[in-house]
A and B are shown apart, each in its own frame.
Chain A
Amino acid sequence: MQAKRNLTWRFVDSADLPTCVLEGIVGEDAGLDDLVPDIKGPARFDLSGVARINSTGVREWLRFVEAINGKGPHRLFRCSAPIVAQLNMIDNFRGSAKVESVIAPYYCEACGHELATEVTIENNTPKLPSPACAECGETMALDEMPARYFYFLSY
């Protein structure tokens, strides 16, 4: 069996901007060139479904960002942990897009339950929620050092 790497996208109805939902793996065959003509103006990108982006995928992504930059300003939201890792690692990964929110890992010290939850970013600052643990009711906390997980906000 040979799994095929792939990335899919679809546009969903949204109140303000056209919203594009990306899902899967951004790799050498991501085919993002095909998405460029569909971005006709400012858009929002839901990146919660991006499970992995590898080094060749980063190059594809940067090319895509460059191609659509002039049609912005765009917004990235619900950025998955792999996307956050790239935001922190790669210069210009977001281009001129604004990051509205990310998916962040939460942890319950009391029972060890884990949760991935959305954290919104306002005025370049993460608004960290304090969700109650679904298993034991204790308050959960971000399972990362904020300065590290949100490093991309510092440059």
Chain B
Amino acid sequence: MLKPGEKSVLVLQSSPKSRRLTARAVAATGAHCVAPPTGEESTQALANGPLDVLVVDWENAALAQQAVKLNPRLEVVLLTDRPAFERYAEDIMDLPMSSMIVSSFVAVPDANDPVATRELVTTVAKLFTGDIFGLEKYMGWGAAIREQEIRASQQAEGIVQSACEDAARSGMPERELSSLGLLVDELCTNAVWDAPVDAEGQPRYADKSRAQPVALAPNEYVTVRYGSDGNLFGVSVSDNFGRLDQDLAVRYIRKCFRHNDQQVSKSAGGAGLGLYMAFNSVSSFVINVDPGVRTEVIGLIRLGRAPKPPAGESLGTSRSLCYFRTKRPKKGE
């Protein structure tokens, strides 16, 4: 029985070890967590409801489809050691997910990775509370987060440089520094050029050449925050428009997984690749949106080495993609 106000989570994972690790992480949020060992008990648990969050692995993903049909408010987290979005992107993106932690090493038998565990706890807690914004939620306590503001497009490169300098001081390996540079570059470009709209909702700069500098209006200023907690270097870039919806983000990222000549837009504005390239630069990519009010995109890069992927998974990489949206009660609710 649930206590009043208690949240309920169902974990459907085939590997007993993964199931235990996941249940342990979920329990850290104070939720009531059920992790049934067999398919029959899973179906039973789904039918029993009420359920707030469902954590599934790849093998149980079909049950997620079913569960969301029954309960459209259900939040679904995919947690799998299936590697590389590159290979499974099309299928994964069709699932009714709030968050996808793909190839997380929480899910790998015998790997108990504190960074991945923290991310799962954060993900589930954000889904419960609706308190979605903030880089701090992904960083250990004590991390010094630096904040800078972009008021004109030309300032972005200076911020890229100072983030990279801070990261180098934090011990980020050389090759990750180039990923970080790309991440900050793309997120800033997106927030400066693509986010702003006028009163009629028309994009202000999206079709302009990126080579022409723009000075932003005060409501268009972009906030960039970054810092290290010794395990991760995190960056967040926020704008005041909240226009990046899940479908759009997924559409851009998914389009780019297809290796074909549609990958790069030939129009004057952005190349349509920015989100994909930012996503490819990080181990975790988080999109927080309060529609019409604010978008915050967070990228996290590991400072140390990720645990080794399962044997035989030559393309394996730990990478997650999470989308959170502020929910407002609809009229009459």
Write the residues of chain A forming the contact surface with B, with a CB cutoff of 8 angstroms: 1-5, 27-29, 51-56, 58-59, 62, 80-82, 85, 89-92, 105, 107, 114, 116, 145-148, 151, 155
A81 touches B178 (CB 8 A): yes
Q: Does B154 contact A (CB under 8 A)?
A: yes
The answer to whether A2 and B185 touch (CB under 8 A), given A91-B261, A105-B175, A114-B173, is: no
Binds A, one of B30-38, B129-137, B266-274, B292-300: B266-274
Residues of A within 8 A of B317 (CB): 148
How does the 8 Å CB contact mask read for B264-308 relative to A, with 1 for contact and 0 for none?
111000111110110010000000000000000000000001000
Chain A at the B interface: SS class: mixed
B273 touches A58 (CB 8 A): yes
Residues of A within 8 A of B174 (CB): 105, 114, 116
The answer to whether A56 and B178 touch (CB under 8 A), given A5-B157, A91-B263, is: no
Q: How far is the CB of A114 from chain B (nearest CB, A)?
A: 6
In whole angstroms, how far apart are the Cα atoms of A145 and B317 in the complex? 9
A62 touches B264 (CB 8 A): yes
Q: How far is the CB of A145 from chain B (nearest CB, A)?
A: 5
In whole angstroms, how far apart are the Cα atoms of A145 and B155 in the complex? 37
The answer to whether A54 and B185 touch (CB under 8 A), given A92-B261, A114-B174, is: yes
The answer to whether A151 and B210 touch (CB under 8 A), given A5-B157, A58-B271, is: no
Write the residues of chain B forming the contact surface with A, with a CB cutoff of 8 angstroms: 84, 86, 154-155, 157-158, 160-161, 173-175, 178-179, 181-182, 185-186, 189, 209-211, 256, 259-261, 263-266, 270-274, 276-277, 280, 305, 309, 314-317
The answer to whether A54 and B277 touch (CB under 8 A), given A59-B264, A59-B266, A148-B315, is: yes
In whole angstroms, how far apart are the Cα atoms of A80 and B155 in the complex? 26
Q: How far is the CB of A105 from chain B (nearest CB, A)?
A: 5
Residues of A within 8 A of B264 (CB): 58-59, 62, 90
B178 touches A51 (CB 8 A): yes
User: Which of A56, A82, A85 sits near B210, CB closer than 8 Å?
Assistant: A56
Residues of A within 8 A of B273 (CB): 55, 58-59, 90
